Amino acid sequence: MRVDVVTIFPAFFDVLEVSLLGKARGAGLLDVRVHDLREYTTDRHRTVDDTPYGGGAGMVMKPEPWGAALDAIVADAASRPTFIFPSPAGELFTQATARELSVAPHLVFGCGRYEGIDERVFAYAATLGDVRLMSLGDYVLNGGEVASMAMIEAIGRLIPGVVGNPESLVEESHEDGLLEYPSYTKPAAWRGYDVPDVLLSGHHGRVADWRRDQRVARTRERRPDLLPSDPSA
Ligand code: 6GU
Protein backbone atom coordinates (compact mmCIF):
# COMPACT_ATOMS: atom_id res chain seq x y z
CA MET A 1 0.00 0.00 0.00
CA ARG A 2 1.18 3.50 -0.83
CA VAL A 3 0.47 6.21 1.77
CA ASP A 4 1.16 9.90 1.19
CA VAL A 5 0.88 12.42 4.00
CA VAL A 6 0.63 16.20 3.47
CA THR A 7 1.44 18.25 6.58
CA ILE A 8 3.16 21.41 7.78
CA PHE A 9 4.81 19.25 10.48
CA PRO A 10 6.62 16.40 8.68
CA ALA A 11 8.59 15.60 11.86
CA PHE A 12 5.39 14.24 13.48
CA PHE A 13 5.69 11.25 11.18
CA ASP A 14 9.28 10.32 12.08
CA VAL A 15 7.90 7.76 14.53
CA LEU A 16 6.54 5.72 11.61
CA GLU A 17 10.15 4.54 11.23
CA VAL A 18 9.96 2.54 14.47
CA SER A 19 7.92 -0.40 15.70
CA LEU A 20 5.58 -2.57 13.67
CA LEU A 21 4.94 -0.12 10.87
CA GLY A 22 8.66 0.62 10.54
CA LYS A 23 9.17 -3.10 9.89
CA ALA A 24 6.31 -3.09 7.37
CA ARG A 25 8.00 -0.23 5.55
CA GLY A 26 11.32 -2.07 5.58
CA ALA A 27 9.64 -5.20 4.20
CA GLY A 28 8.10 -3.22 1.32
CA LEU A 29 4.50 -3.76 2.49
CA LEU A 30 3.98 -0.06 3.18
CA ASP A 31 5.38 2.81 1.11
CA VAL A 32 4.91 5.99 3.19
CA ARG A 33 5.85 9.38 1.73
CA VAL A 34 5.60 12.52 3.85
CA HIS A 35 5.27 15.90 2.10
CA ASP A 36 5.80 19.35 3.63
CA LEU A 37 2.89 21.55 2.51
CA ARG A 38 5.18 24.60 2.66
CA GLU A 39 7.21 23.17 -0.23
CA TYR A 40 4.16 23.88 -2.39
CA THR A 41 3.88 27.58 -1.50
CA THR A 42 5.20 30.24 -3.89
CA ASP A 43 5.61 33.32 -1.64
CA ARG A 44 8.71 34.35 0.28
CA HIS A 45 7.07 33.63 3.65
CA ARG A 46 5.79 30.19 2.60
CA THR A 47 2.28 31.15 3.73
CA VAL A 48 -0.22 28.33 4.19
CA ASP A 49 -3.10 30.16 5.92
CA ASP A 50 -5.21 33.31 5.73
CA THR A 51 -8.17 34.97 7.45
CA PRO A 52 -11.65 33.46 6.91
CA TYR A 53 -14.13 35.05 4.50
CA GLY A 54 -17.17 36.12 6.52
CA GLY A 55 -15.05 36.76 9.58
CA GLY A 56 -14.61 34.67 12.69
CA ALA A 57 -11.83 33.35 14.86
CA GLY A 58 -8.70 31.65 13.63
CA MET A 59 -7.12 31.11 10.26
CA VAL A 60 -8.03 28.90 7.30
CA MET A 61 -5.56 26.94 5.20
CA LYS A 62 -5.26 28.44 1.71
CA PRO A 63 -6.30 26.26 -1.24
CA GLU A 64 -3.35 26.92 -3.62
CA PRO A 65 -0.61 24.99 -1.74
CA TRP A 66 -3.04 22.10 -1.23
CA GLY A 67 -3.89 22.03 -4.94
CA ALA A 68 -0.21 21.94 -5.90
CA ALA A 69 0.60 19.23 -3.32
CA LEU A 70 -2.28 16.98 -4.40
CA ASP A 71 -1.37 17.46 -8.08
CA ALA A 72 2.24 16.43 -7.37
CA ILE A 73 1.08 13.30 -5.54
CA VAL A 74 -1.34 12.10 -8.21
CA ALA A 75 1.20 12.87 -10.97
CA ASP A 76 3.18 9.74 -10.11
CA ALA A 77 0.31 7.63 -8.73
CA ALA A 78 -0.61 4.33 -10.38
CA SER A 79 -4.31 4.57 -9.46
CA ARG A 80 -6.88 7.11 -8.22
CA PRO A 81 -6.13 7.51 -4.49
CA THR A 82 -8.50 7.72 -1.55
CA PHE A 83 -8.02 11.09 0.15
CA ILE A 84 -8.54 11.13 3.92
CA PHE A 85 -8.87 14.50 5.62
CA PRO A 86 -8.89 14.14 9.44
CA SER A 87 -11.54 16.43 10.87
CA PRO A 88 -13.66 16.56 14.03
CA ALA A 89 -16.49 17.37 11.57
CA GLY A 90 -15.95 14.11 9.65
CA GLU A 91 -17.64 10.71 9.73
CA LEU A 92 -16.53 8.41 12.56
CA PHE A 93 -13.42 6.30 11.87
CA THR A 94 -14.05 2.77 13.21
CA GLN A 95 -12.48 -0.68 12.94
CA ALA A 96 -14.84 -1.28 9.99
CA THR A 97 -13.41 1.83 8.28
CA ALA A 98 -9.87 0.58 8.95
CA ARG A 99 -10.78 -2.82 7.41
CA GLU A 100 -12.31 -1.16 4.37
CA LEU A 101 -9.31 1.13 3.82
CA SER A 102 -6.72 -1.64 4.42
CA VAL A 103 -7.39 -3.02 0.92
CA ALA A 104 -6.97 0.35 -0.84
CA PRO A 105 -3.85 0.58 -3.01
CA HIS A 106 -3.20 4.25 -2.29
CA LEU A 107 -4.24 6.54 0.60
CA VAL A 108 -3.46 10.25 0.87
CA PHE A 109 -3.79 11.89 4.31
CA GLY A 110 -4.27 15.67 4.26
CA CYS A 111 -3.48 17.13 7.67
CA GLY A 112 -5.26 20.41 8.37
CA ARG A 113 -4.25 22.87 11.08
CA TYR A 114 -5.82 26.11 12.32
CA GLU A 115 -9.61 26.25 11.84
CA GLY A 116 -9.46 23.92 8.85
CA ILE A 117 -8.82 23.77 5.12
CA ASP A 118 -10.62 25.90 2.51
CA GLU A 119 -13.67 23.79 1.61
CA ARG A 120 -12.90 23.94 -2.13
CA VAL A 121 -9.86 21.70 -1.58
CA PHE A 122 -12.21 18.78 -0.81
CA ALA A 123 -14.19 19.41 -4.00
CA TYR A 124 -10.97 19.52 -6.02
CA ALA A 125 -9.63 16.35 -4.39
CA ALA A 126 -12.89 14.62 -5.35
CA THR A 127 -11.95 15.11 -9.02
CA LEU A 128 -8.73 13.14 -8.37
CA GLY A 129 -10.08 10.28 -6.24
CA ASP A 130 -12.45 9.35 -3.40
CA VAL A 131 -12.60 11.84 -0.52
CA ARG A 132 -13.36 10.95 3.12
CA LEU A 133 -13.46 13.41 6.03
CA MET A 134 -12.80 11.25 9.09
CA SER A 135 -13.07 11.91 12.83
CA LEU A 136 -11.51 9.78 15.56
CA GLY A 137 -14.21 10.67 18.08
CA ASP A 138 -16.05 13.45 19.83
CA TYR A 139 -13.15 15.59 21.03
CA VAL A 140 -10.91 18.17 19.36
CA LEU A 141 -7.23 17.83 18.46
CA ASN A 142 -5.05 20.71 17.28
CA GLY A 143 -4.60 19.28 13.82
CA GLY A 144 -4.79 16.19 11.65
CA GLU A 145 -1.31 14.86 12.35
CA VAL A 146 -1.98 12.75 15.45
CA ALA A 147 -5.29 11.58 13.98
CA SER A 148 -3.57 10.55 10.72
CA MET A 149 -0.95 8.64 12.67
CA ALA A 150 -3.68 6.75 14.55
CA MET A 151 -5.49 5.91 11.31
CA ILE A 152 -2.28 4.85 9.53
CA GLU A 153 -1.50 2.47 12.41
CA ALA A 154 -5.04 1.06 12.56
CA ILE A 155 -5.11 0.52 8.77
CA GLY A 156 -1.47 -0.53 8.36
CA ARG A 157 -1.61 -3.37 10.89
CA LEU A 158 -4.47 -4.96 8.90
CA ILE A 159 -2.36 -5.26 5.72
CA PRO A 160 -1.49 -8.97 5.33
CA GLY A 161 2.01 -9.65 6.67
CA VAL A 162 2.28 -6.54 8.85
CA VAL A 163 1.09 -8.25 12.05
CA GLY A 164 3.09 -11.47 12.47
CA ASN A 165 0.28 -13.71 13.71
CA PRO A 166 -2.99 -12.99 11.84
CA GLU A 167 -4.90 -14.86 14.60
CA SER A 168 -4.07 -12.01 16.97
CA LEU A 169 -6.25 -9.78 14.76
CA VAL A 170 -9.34 -11.98 15.02
CA GLU A 171 -10.35 -11.96 18.68
CA GLU A 172 -9.50 -8.37 19.50
CA SER A 173 -11.74 -5.52 20.56
CA HIS A 174 -14.07 -4.10 17.91
CA GLU A 175 -13.59 -6.83 15.31
CA ASP A 176 -16.93 -8.43 16.21
CA GLY A 177 -18.59 -5.65 18.22
CA LEU A 178 -17.45 -6.83 21.68
CA LEU A 179 -14.54 -5.65 23.80
CA GLU A 180 -11.58 -7.98 24.31
CA TYR A 181 -11.47 -10.50 27.19
CA PRO A 182 -8.93 -9.97 30.04
CA SER A 183 -5.48 -11.53 29.59
CA TYR A 184 -3.06 -13.02 32.15
CA THR A 185 0.41 -14.55 32.08
CA LYS A 186 2.75 -16.09 34.67
CA PRO A 187 3.04 -16.02 37.65
CA ALA A 188 -0.34 -17.49 38.65
CA ALA A 189 -0.19 -15.54 41.94
CA TRP A 190 1.20 -11.99 42.08
CA ARG A 191 1.03 -9.53 44.99
CA GLY A 192 -2.09 -11.23 46.29
CA TYR A 193 -3.88 -11.21 42.94
CA ASP A 194 -4.63 -14.65 41.44
CA VAL A 195 -5.20 -15.63 37.83
CA PRO A 196 -8.82 -16.92 37.50
CA ASP A 197 -8.91 -20.71 38.15
CA VAL A 198 -10.67 -21.50 34.89
CA LEU A 199 -7.61 -20.33 32.90
CA LEU A 200 -5.42 -22.83 34.78
CA SER A 201 -7.91 -25.69 34.29
CA GLY A 202 -6.73 -26.77 30.83
CA HIS A 203 -10.41 -27.10 29.86
CA HIS A 204 -10.60 -25.35 26.47
CA GLY A 205 -14.40 -25.30 26.30
CA ARG A 206 -14.75 -23.70 29.73
CA VAL A 207 -12.00 -21.17 28.92
CA ALA A 208 -13.83 -20.18 25.71
CA ASP A 209 -17.16 -19.81 27.57
CA TRP A 210 -15.54 -17.74 30.34
CA ARG A 211 -13.84 -15.43 27.84
CA ARG A 212 -17.11 -14.94 25.96
CA ASP A 213 -18.91 -14.10 29.24
CA GLN A 214 -16.15 -11.63 30.17
CA ARG A 215 -16.38 -9.92 26.79
CA VAL A 216 -20.15 -9.46 27.10
CA ALA A 217 -19.92 -8.33 30.74
CA ARG A 218 -17.25 -5.69 30.17
CA THR A 219 -18.94 -4.45 27.00
CA ARG A 220 -22.18 -4.01 28.97
CA GLU A 221 -20.24 -2.23 31.74
CA ARG A 222 -17.94 0.01 29.69
CA ARG A 223 -19.52 0.36 26.27
CA PRO A 224 -23.26 -0.42 26.44
CA ASP A 225 -23.66 1.60 23.21
CA LEU A 226 -21.97 -1.32 21.36
CA LEU A 227 -24.66 -3.81 22.39
CA PRO A 228 -27.67 -4.21 20.07
CA SER A 229 -30.19 -3.94 22.92
CA ASP A 230 -28.89 -0.55 24.18
CA PRO A 231 -31.74 1.98 23.98
CA SER A 232 -29.22 4.91 24.12
CA ALA A 233 -27.30 3.65 21.05
CL1 6GU B 1 -9.63 13.50 12.81
N2 6GU B 1 -9.00 15.88 13.78
C3 6GU B 1 -9.01 16.80 14.73
N4 6GU B 1 -8.39 17.96 14.51
N5 6GU B 1 -9.61 16.64 15.89
C6 6GU B 1 -10.20 15.46 16.07
C7 6GU B 1 -10.22 14.45 15.14
C8 6GU B 1 -9.60 14.69 13.96
N9 6GU B 1 -10.90 13.41 15.62
C10 6GU B 1 -11.27 13.75 16.83
N11 6GU B 1 -10.87 15.00 17.11
DSSP string, 75-127: HT-SSPPEEEEEEEEEEEP-HHHHHHHTT-SEEEEE---TT-B-THHHHHHTT
pLDDT digits (tens, 9 = 90+) for 1-58: 999 999 999 999 999 888 767 778 778 899 999 999 999 999 999 999 999 999 999 9
CA distances (Å), 57 to each of 21, 53, 114, 116, 187, in order? 38, 11, 10, 11, 56
* For the CA of 143, the nearest atom of ligand 1: 4
Q: CA-CA distance, 134 to 100, in Å (whole number)?
A: 13
Residue 117 CA to ligand 1 centre (angstroms)? 13
Angle at 30 between CA 111 and CA 10, to 5 degrees: 30
Q: CA-CA distance, 5 to 83, in Å (whole number)?
A: 10
- Does residue 88's CB lie within 6 angstroms of at least one atom of ligand 1? yes
CA distances (Å), 182 to each of 78, 169, 226, in order? 44, 16, 18
pLDDT of residue 99: 97
* For the CA of 90, the nearest atom of ligand 1: 1
Give the gyration radius of the chain's Cα atoms: 22
Pocket test for ligand 1, best of 83, 85, 87 (most atoms within 8 A of CB): 87
pLDDT digits (tens, 9 = 90+) for 118-166: 999 999 999 999 999 999 999 999 999 999 999 999 999 999 888 767 7
Helix (H) or strand (E) holding 63: helix 63-75
Torsion over CA of 62, 65, 69 and 74, rounded to 10 degrees? Answer: 70
- Does residue 196's CB lie within 6 angstroms of at least one atom of ligand 1? no
* For the CA of 112, the nearest atom of ligand 1: 4
- Does residue 139's CB lie within 6 angstroms of at least one atom of ligand 1? yes
- Does residue 116's CB lie within 6 angstroms of at least one atom of ligand 1? no
